Amino acid sequence: MDGIDPTGALRRIQEAVAAARAGTGDQDRVLDALSGLRLLREELASWEPELIAAARAAGASWVALAPALGVASRQAAERRYLRLQPSHTGEKTGEARVDAERDRRAGDRAVADWARRNSAILRQLAGRVSALDGLGPAGQASADRLGAALGDDDPATLLPPLAAAQPHLTGAHAGLAEQLGEISAHTDQLRRDAAGNRRSRD
């Protein structure tokens, strides 16, 4: 609460409630208490996801968090956290944020599985791109990042730098750029299919 002391706000609210119960509450005092209560509620709501994230960062499991949050299961604890999180992709409600996060995870799993099955192809393409000569500064930096990603054991880590390299492959490299575009389109479709399949099972 910008400019408002939560402890002081809570004290004023308690005093207004006590006065109202005693029949001595006046309109201005009650309205001020209601305004303070709204601001305090907003502040508390912002603290909860921060504290959950801090607990997770400190090693707390969703199972351990569940009783602290007053819910019965790890799934409910995670769901509560997702509902409280601000949306970065435009979802208007907590339920929509939960669905969007589950869609993203289902898509990530589908893409990672596909990448592992097609590891040889992805590594071959990444090797070709990282070995190209004559790229501009931005293109060369992109190729260097791709070369570094080749050292990772998980082929799924090659997908973002492959997609990022595509716009830099022009002219004599247009055919290679087309192959990268096909991979990006395929992984996008995998994400959509995975989200659709998840929702059909719910």
Alpha-carbon distance 156 to 136, whole Å? 26
pLDDT at position 119: 95
Model confidence, pTM: 0.55
Alpha-carbon distance 145 to 119, whole Å? 18
pLDDT, tens digit, for every residue of 66-87?
Answer: 999 998 888 888 888 877 776 5
The mean pLDDT of 10-31, rounded to a whole number, is 88
For the cut 50, the answer to whether the pLDDT of residue 1 exceeds it is no
Alpha-carbon distance 97 to 128, whole Å? 39
CB 62 within 8 A of CB 72: no
For the cut 60, the answer to whether the pLDDT of residue 89 exceeds it is no
Q: Mean pLDDT across the chain, nearest whole number? A: 86
Place of tokens 């190209």: 132
- Cα distances from 160 to residues 69, 86, 165, 174, in angstroms, run 36, 25, 9, 19
pLDDT at position 71: 87
The greatest distance separating any two alpha carbons of the chain, rounded to the nearest whole angstrom, comes to 85
The mean pLDDT of 7-15, rounded to a whole number, is 87
Alpha-carbon distance 12 to 141, whole Å? 59
- Please give the share of the chain, as a percent, with pLDDT higher than 70: 92
Counting beta carbons within 10 angstroms of the beta carbon of residue 19, is it exposed (0 to 12), middle (13 to 18) or buried (19 or more)?
middle
Q: What residues contact residue 201 under an 8 Å CB cut-off, 6+ apart? A: none
Q: What residues contact residue 133 under an 8 Å CB cut-off, 6+ apart? A: none
